[in-house]
Amino acid sequence: MTRIIPVPSGRTSDYLLSQRLTNQMSADQLDLLRLQTQISTGRRVLSLSDDAPAAIRGVTLQSLLEQKTQIQTNLTTSQSYLAATDVALANAANTLNEMSGLAVRLSDTTFSDSELAAAGEQVERAIQQMMDLANQQFRGRYLFSGSNTTTVPFQELENGLVQYQGNTTGLQSFADIDLLFDTTVNGHDAFGAISEQLKGLADLNPVLTPSTKLSDLRGGKGIEKGSFQISDGISPPVTIDISKANTLADVARLIESNPPAGRKLTARISDTGLIVDIDDAGGGNLTIRELGGSRVAAQLGILDTDGNLTNPIVGTDLNPKLTLTSKVENLLGTRANAVIEYPGTNNDILIKAHDNGESLNGVKIQLVDDNLLKAGAGITRGNEIVNRGTDLLRPQTTLNFSGADNNLLLTANATDGSLDGVQIVIDATNNVGDSAVIGPTTLVDGVPTITVQIDDTDETTLQSLANAFAADGRFAIGGAASTGEAFDPASTIASSNDGLISTTGITNQAVKSRASLALVGGGNDLTLIANQAGEQFNDVEIVIDASGDIGDAATASYSDNGSTRRLTIQIDDSNETTLQSVINAIAAEGSFSVTYDNGNGESFNLASAVPSSSAGTIGNTGNTGGAADSYFVQVSSGTTTADDLLRALNDHAEFASDFTASIDPKDTTAEFLSASGTVSTSVIGETTGGSGVVFDRESGIQVQNGTESTILTFDDVETVEDLLNVFNRSGAGLVAEINASGNGINVRSNISGGDFSIGENGGSTATQLGLRSFNSDTVLTDLNFGRGVQGTDGTDLTITRNDGVELEIDLATAKTVGDVLNLINNHPKNLDGTNAIVARLSEFGNGIELIDDNPDGFGRLKVSQGVLSQAGVDLGLIPAGETEATVSNSPDAQPATATVRFDAPNNQNNAFKLTANAPGISYNNIQVEFVNSAASGNQALVNFDQATQKLTIDVDPTLTSTNTVIAAIKAEGTFDAELFSTEDATNSGAGLITQTGVLATTNGGTPLADSESATADITFAAPDHLNTAFTLVAKDAGTLRNGVRVILDDSLASGGVPNATFAPGANTLTIKIEAGVTTANQVIAAIDQEGNFDAKLLFTNDATNDGSGIINSTGTVGTTSGGTAEVLTGRNVNAQETKGIFNSLLRLKDAIAAKDVREISRVSEMMKQDIQRLSFTRGELGARDQHVDVLKARGEDEILELKSNLSLEIDVDMIQAITDMTAKQASFQASLQTAGQLYQLTLLDYI
């Protein structure tokens, strides 16, 4: 509205009037300028100050309009990419349809070689066309490389296969403000460029750590936010709110920070879950309940509304999911562990195994008061001693004599194994009266032996024998209660026991409890050792009762009321009981054996008295007995601290190789007091919780992808991401990732046209990862690309062992590869121990392996299939096109032979041929010598001497016929013999043997083709290295003779002939020699004479070796090795492939070249799937294109609406603006006129 200032009529100054008129005209001018600008620009709002709300709305609308405009551009561009992609796929479909038709024709019709060659060229051209289409570019980017638009999608490798280098991630563009739109089709979706997943069948089962995120628990489902309550049943419950907790450590910290009033809570994180414990001192009942509708406690696995007093609540498995940061060492199982809680504080220790597995469960840590073990002073703090139970085992034997109540139990005092396997031999050939003599330990035929002399006229009593052993000190003596006889010291040992042999041994793999009896006086201290190994005689109090007048007598009794174990020894109250009586009483009671204790440095005196002042509890077996795998720690009771114990355990080599011991931080009250508390012998720790297996890093896996075989090892991987990188960066065309379940990994191949498989590399890595493509659970119908195993009714396979036994296998009931293995291994004819063949999965790669390690067999391991069966081929045991298979193409081993001929004129009807019964080279160069010695008449005496390598035939030259000789050779057994008629067609064998001497030498024996014999090269150090080296070879091929220790035993009597003894059980070949006298040649002769090995001189480092060198060395001088079994390894028949267009085309090309109609038919079916895939892809493209059209149309409408709204907000109303302009001009003119009238100035106004 025009503002008109009226002409003042009042008393107003001229200045004020002037100012008001000037302001009025300035305002009119500004208004005129604003209106002129709006009319000239068409905009009502030119700046925020013009109309702030409208300006803000305009800015928002303008931004939205610009985005919508850009989206329209995006859609147009995307549509052009989709159109280009569709054109490429249409061309690919045309090419594929042509190839599919070609495959159908080739599978149904017979073609000439030239026609097949032309078809092959046609397929080759199609492959190149397909490569061009798959690698097509449009507007500077590759259409089928996924989001890697600058990477060539498909690459032809040197071996002719095709590798996909793109990814499966689409490139997206905005189709609307908040709508992303795929603008590409990746090569896998279009062409089938990546194989199906080799899904990890194994749960890698990562363990929990304090840093495990709550969101990763329960297989990735996570833990809800919420609260739960903990109560001790006495104080009001406390609420634990985990809403802000991120990791398990946070939860444990919250629990420990909020205990019930006056109590202490401990929250531990095990490998699998939470363990919540409350202090025992306060009593009560520990419970954990949900709060309201929360499910947090249940999800954490610690919900326990009933409780179990103050016992810990052990949570369930929280099943964390696999993540890229999961440590590889924390996969595939859990580690055995123990929390050992000693009374007091700052002394609890943690035991943790280094590796996964159940084998370290149940290992106990038993503390033993060293003062209980010997009469002298015990160890002091800092000198603790750790022993593994296996180092404390005591051999034992019973001398079971004829007669009554005279048996004696001997328990070795030594635990170093020196008395294990010792023969105790009774010698009753001397007149020793009522005494016994215990001899030293000597080697007899290589066996450690102790000879015990007793009287030859039955005068030796059990007392004398027991005293002799007690004085000898090598064994503790006791009554043999297990034989049902009493211990009568007065009973005699009859001379009829001469030659009785008892052998010491460890009958129970456990440690025997023991205790020292430090009696008052001198020369009378004893050590008691429990007769039975284990814990049943732990914590036995040993009490001396001197309350009766019993003279020189003693009795012993053992009691166990369930809470107290006690051995009570009654002695005289006036010092009349001797040590002898005490020993006899203990032995007669039967629970313990006894030996002297020289811990105080005193001599042993059986006649010494046991004074009544010894009465009272004088000993305790403590924790001295237990399992062989326990650790027994001798400590200074009351002074040894946790720090001392930790140091002792971790310094023990065997313990440190399996475990680490550390202080428990939850029991530490202050850092400077850590591990300072003393430990108690009353507490026994035991490891639990170990499971699974240790990841086999070193062996690695074999990956077969196309023609390339790659070995992947994982020595340096630390995390799952590292493990995946080994696959993805191997260059083997692999794509590895964590599976969707979060408990394993999947591996795929991006190479088309070849076979893809993952197998073992001599270990178990692939199986542990669940990635082995050919395993026991593989279904037979999946083999050979789904063709399965074609069998027949009845016998499908016949496996012939090298000993000729045939195993006929009917696969009718077999569903999996494991079933096939079981049918072979459990065949009724294959259950004969070392002769059996073993069917298993191949140690390297994939396939079935047959192992024939039969040392007695000399044939060939062979697999054959029936005429109507293809089972052998389909299982990979027989090459395609064949009906049988052996380990190799080497010829069968042949036996040595010799033909014996005689000189004319005595050469009629007497020539014969002999053949070694065992094939191989062992019977080459055997001399056939005829002698005239003891034979008389038509008689032949045959002897084969392995040492001299000679077959000696003793004949009567005037009466022995050839037929008689042949019969004698057959009877001896080493050789077979038959008449030789090649040069004497009428040879009847009736001719006489008239010549003597060496008439023939065997030869022609060839080695076993498919297995090796164990060997050992025996050499000696200077100066005994010349003319002494020899080598020996097991006569039986295979692994059975591996690991045989060759022992030179210097026990041969002077002038004796060296001899050899092979002990299969001990796996030793012992040669008795006279050190410093026996020569290498004599040793070789002894080995040859023994018969299990062939020996000969070794010239490797001594070219002039003649075997005359003297042998001075004794003991183990070598160990055999190198023996191998026959191993028939089948091929992999469960290869995977990348199902797609390039795979189909490359397979078709190879099938045409191989004229494999069966494969062409399979490819034809695969091409149908490829065509279907292309059709679906093109259909999806069409749908996307239609969607783009819809989005574009909608976008155009939205842009129009936005422009309209923007115009309403910021554009000017021209009619209204012009009207306002006209009015403002009139107003401004009126103001000017008014001012002129008011200020009609003349010159007088300036005078």
Angle 462-472/579-589 helices, nearest 10 degrees?
100
Q: Is the peptide bond before 1023 cis (omega within 30 degrees of 0)?
A: yes
**What residues form DSSP beta bridges with 900?**
912
pLDDT of residue 1090: 87
The rounded radius of gyration (Å) of the Cα atoms in the chain is 49
d(CA 327, CA 991): 85
- Alpha carbon separation from 228 to 288, 295, 317, 970 (Å, rounded): 7, 8, 19, 90
Q: Are 1138 and 752 in contact (CB under 8 A)?
A: yes
Q: Does residue 6 form part of some domain? A: yes
**752 part of a folded domain:** yes
Domain co-membership, 1194 together with 1093: no
- Out of 849, 884, 919, a domain closes at 884
Q: Which residues sit opposite 93 in a β-bridge?
A: none
Amino acid making up residue 145: S
Burial 97-126 (b: 16+ CB within 10 A, else e): eebbebbeebbeeeeeeeeeeebbebbeeb
Alpha-carbon distance values, 466 to 460, 580, 599, 671, 760 (Å): 10, 10, 21, 57, 60
Q: Give whole-number Cα distances, 685 to 274, 342, 351, 630, 1094, in Å.
A: 20, 10, 9, 10, 54
pLDDT value at residue 6: 57
Rounded to the nearest 10 degrees, the angle between the axes of helix 1157-1210 and helix 1141-1154 is 160
The two structure tokens encoding residue 832: 């004969």
Structural domain contains residue 1068: yes
- Domain shared by 185 and 84, yes or no: yes
Same domain, yes or no: 355 and 310: no
Q: Are residues 773 and 841 in the same domain?
A: no
pLDDT for 1009: 66
H or E stretch covering 370? none
Report strand pairing: 333-340 vs 349-356: antiparallel
What is the residue-wise DSSP string for 745-756?
EEEEE-EESS-E
The reply to whether 745 and 756 lie within a common domain is yes
Last residue of a domain, one of 577, 612, 647: 612
Phi, psi for 786 (deg, rounded to 5): 90, 0
Which of 612, 640, 674 finishes a domain? 612
Domain identity same for 144 and 90: yes
pLDDT of the residue at 1236: 73
Residue 1130 covered by a domain: no
- What's the pLDDT tens digit per position in 163-212? 999 988 887 777 777 777 777 888 899 999 988 877 766 788 899 999 99
What's the DSSP call for residue 260?
S
905 prior amide bond cis, ω within 30: yes
Q: Assess whether 87 and 170 both reside in one domain.
A: yes
Name the residue range of residue 10's domain: 1-42+1226-1247
Is residue 434 assigned to a domain? no
Of 929, 907, 917, the closest CA to residue 981 belongs to 907
Is residue 139 in some structural domain? yes
Whether 430 is covered by a domain: the verdict is: no
Q: Are residues 984 and 1107 in the same domain?
A: no
CA 61 – CA 55 distance, rounded (Å): 10
Quick one: tokens of 685?
Answer: 């720790």
Pair type for strands 1059-1063 and 1068-1072:
antiparallel
Q: Domain tally for the chain?
A: 9
The reported pLDDT for the residue numbered 1094 is 87
Pairing mode, strands 137-138 and 141-142: antiparallel
| Whether 944 and 956 share a structural domain | yes
Q: How many CB atoms lie within 10 A of CB 26?
A: 10
* Rounded to 5°, angle at Cα 135 from 131 and 137: 145
Q: How far apart are CA 703 and CA 681, in angstroms?
A: 55
Kindly give the parts of the chain with pLDDT less than 70.
1-14, 17, 48, 200-201, 855-858, 947, 1008-1009, 1238-1247
Indicate if 62 and 189 belong to the same structural domain.
yes
Separation between Cα atoms, residue 170 and residue 173, nearest integer Å = 10
How many other CB atoms sit within 10 Å of the CB of residue 1030?
Answer: 25
Considering the domain architecture, whether residues 775 and 789 belong to the same structural domain is answered as no
Distance between CA atoms of 194 and 146, rounded to whole angstroms?
A: 13
* Structural domain contains residue 245: yes
Looking at residue 335, its pLDDT comes to: 95
Residue 978 CB coordination number (10 Å): 13
Q: What are the tokens at 359?
A: 């084998």
The pTM of this model reads 0.80
Q: How many Cα atoms sit within 13 Å of 328 on the Cβ side?
A: 21
SS3 164: strand
Residue 567 · residue 592 · CB < 8 Å: yes
Residues 867 and 828 both lie in one domain: yes
CA distances to 206, 215, 246, 718, 1168 from 212, in Å: 10, 8, 9, 16, 48
Which pLDDT score, from 0 to 100, does residue 681 have? 94
Tell me the sheet residues that pair with 763.
none
**pLDDT value for 1187:** 83
